């Protein structure tokens, strides 16, 4: 059976899709690393232009990441609205939390663009976490009240990436039995 170029391209796209789906959790939590190993292998195997294959892979990953972030944002907004509906927080507090969430995401994006050591990043993130706790207290927001449920939200929050949330995963009760660390 003769394999045509369109069939090869379809196979390459399928391979890229499968690889990207397997790495979407990693890609959403870490900056895009354009090492091109997968793209180079596909381009070489199927005799395709390496740059075009890499651009296709990059575009696919960006689209997946944008879709994932939009889904997470919608779920977060729904959860916050439920907290307003049940009287846990006010509408103004919800708005403030949404803005603070966006501010924290923007700060994390700035951190990713800097040449910092792991220790420096850890310190900056720790400062952000402490600032968030102080901010929430000033807003009259009890962080224990707004935490996601252990069964439904916590694992979901982890899947968002360490810094894609509004800070609730960082506010575990401090107790002698709690050995869960960052």
182 residues of the chain, pLDDT tens digit each = 555 554 445 454 454 444 444 444 444 444 445 567 889 999 999 999 999 999 999 999 999 999 999 999 899 999 999 999 999 999 999 999 999 989 998 998 888 888 899 999 999 999 999 999 999 999 999 999 888 765 544 444 444 444 444 444 444 444 444 444 44
- State the residue range of the domain holding 125: 90-170
DSSP label at residue 152: I
The answer on 153 and 107 residing in a single domain is yes
Q: Which of 174, 167, 100, 160 is nearest to 129 (CA)?
A: 167
Q: Is 165 among the domain residues?
A: yes
Distance CA 155, CA 160 (A): 9
- Structural domain total, the chain: 2
Are residue 59 and residue 99 in the same domain, yes or no?
Answer: no
DSSP 168: G
Radius of gyration of the chain (CA): 21
Residue 178 lies in a domain: no
* 99 and 163 co-located in one domain: yes
Q: How far apart are CA 155 and CA 61, in angstroms?
A: 23
Say if residue 60 is in the same domain as residue 95: no
| 58 shares its domain with 97 | no
**pTM here?**
0.57
Asked if residue 109 belongs to a domain, the reply is: yes
Note whether residue 181 is domain-resident: no
């Amino acid at each position: 059976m003769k394999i045509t170029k369109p069939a090869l391209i379809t196979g390459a796209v399928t391979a890229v899709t499968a690889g990207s789906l397997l790495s979407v959790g990693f890609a959403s939590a870490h900056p895009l690393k354009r090492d091109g190993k997968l793209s180079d292998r596909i381009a070489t195997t199927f005799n395709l232009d390496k740059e075009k294959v890499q651009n296709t892979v990059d575009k696919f990953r960006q689209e997946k990441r944008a879709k994932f972030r939009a889904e997470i944002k919608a779920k977060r907004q729904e959860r916050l609205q439920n907290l307003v509906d049940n009287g846990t927080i006010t509408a103004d507090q919800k708005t403030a939390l949404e803005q603070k969430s966006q501010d924290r995401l923007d700060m994390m994006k700035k951190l990713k663009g800097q040449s910092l050591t792991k220790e420096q990043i850890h310190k900056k993130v720790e400062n952000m976490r402490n600032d968030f706790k102080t901010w929430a207290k000033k807003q009259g927001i009890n962080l224990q009240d707004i935490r996601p449920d252990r069964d439904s939200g916590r694992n979901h929050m982890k899947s968002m990436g360490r810094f894609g949330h509004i800070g609730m995963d960082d506010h575990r009760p401090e107790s002698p039995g709690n050995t869960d660390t960052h």
